[in-house]
Amino acid sequence: MIKKIFAKKSLGQNFLKSKIILNEIISAGEISDDDFIIEIGPGKGALTEKILETGAKVLAIEKDSRLISLLEEKFETEIKNNQLQILEEDILEFDTGNDPPENFKNKKYKLIANIPYYITGQIFEKFLTADNQPELAVFMIQKEVCDRIVARDNKESILSISVKAYCEPKYIRKVPARFFSPTPKVDSAIIKLQNISKKTFEESDASEKDFFELVKTGFSHKRKVLISNLKEWAQKKGINLSEKFDQIGLDKKIRAEKLSVQDWISLLK
């Protein structure tokens, strides 16, 4: 018998109750039966069930022990058939190199999840910078964060550049708060991260550390133009900024929010 489980706010538990939205996540994930999917936070299994219907294999990682027994009961058959493995673990502790399933290292996988919003940034960082990156990710996240990542207002930020350095983020759709139970205070959105790779760094020979140091310096004072923010950085590196801007065709009045990932790489070279 499935017992009633009350949602824990501290674990970001807002369960999806819209079949339409669940289907849109599946279709954004382009899931087929030979896919291997990692689901973060299966909760009560609404999304897990839809993923399993595609025939894909699923590793579902859930931190809340109360939900584990519920999931094991609900998906008894799929677990027996080895289509589903449930792991009780904090996703931030999950080791993409060593944790189950066997031979996970270098295995292709997709991440599909209605993630707990309180660790959105950490999840993005963990998987985008991992040695074994996912080939694709579809996440439900807070709408405001989604807007910033895709720069819907055409203003880039440290966040959007940090994500775009590793993939092409695509806004799929808004998901109003009423589609969840309990109803959260904010609206959500589905984001798709495609073409995930480290080619920005591999092709340019730029180190991730230098890249992010430069981007953070460039955004340090919002009201200042980029060239002012980079003054000290350039002095330390012995770079003539004015010449550099001319060389790569950047307007000297440009602000950090107008630069693309490639512009930052050009500055670094």
Q: What is the distance between the alpha carbons of residues 196 and 52, in angstroms, rounded to a whole number?
A: 24
Q: Which stretch binds ligand SAM (CB under 6 A): 11-19, 74-82, 221-229, 254-262?
A: 11-19
Determine if 29 is a binding residue for ligand SAM (CB under 6 A): no
Least distance from C-beta 88 to ligand SAM, angstroms? 9
| Count, residues near ligand SAM per rule CB under 6 A | 23
134: cis peptide before it, omega within 30°?
Answer: no
Binding mask 32-61 for ligand SAM (x = CB under 6 A): --------xxxx--xx-------------x
Q: Would you say 25 or 163 has its CB closer to ligand SAM? A: 25
Window 228 to 247, contacts with ligand SAM (CB under 6 A): none
Cβ atoms 190, 139 nearer than 8 A: yes
Determine if 91 is a binding residue for ligand SAM (CB under 6 A): yes
Determine if 218 is a binding residue for ligand SAM (CB under 6 A): no
Q: What is the distance between the alpha carbons of residues 161 and 167, in angstroms, rounded to a whole number?
A: 10
Q: What is the distance between the alpha carbons of residues 57 and 80, in angstroms, rounded to a whole number?
A: 12
Dihedral sign, Cα of residue 35, residue 36, residue 38, residue 42: positive
Cβ atoms 115, 184 nearer than 8 A: no
- Which residue among 16, 28, 52, 165 contacts ligand SAM (CB under 6 A)? 16
Binding mask 98-137 for ligand SAM (x = CB under 6 A): ----------------x-x--x------------------
Which residue type, as a one-letter code, is found at position 35? D
Residue nearest to ligand SAM (CB): 41
Q: What is the distance between the alpha carbons of residues 151 and 73, in angstroms, rounded to a whole number?
A: 42
Cβ atoms 6, 13 nearer than 8 A: no
Residues that bind ligand SAM (CB under 6 A): 11-16, 40-43, 46-47, 61-64, 67, 90-92, 114, 116, 119
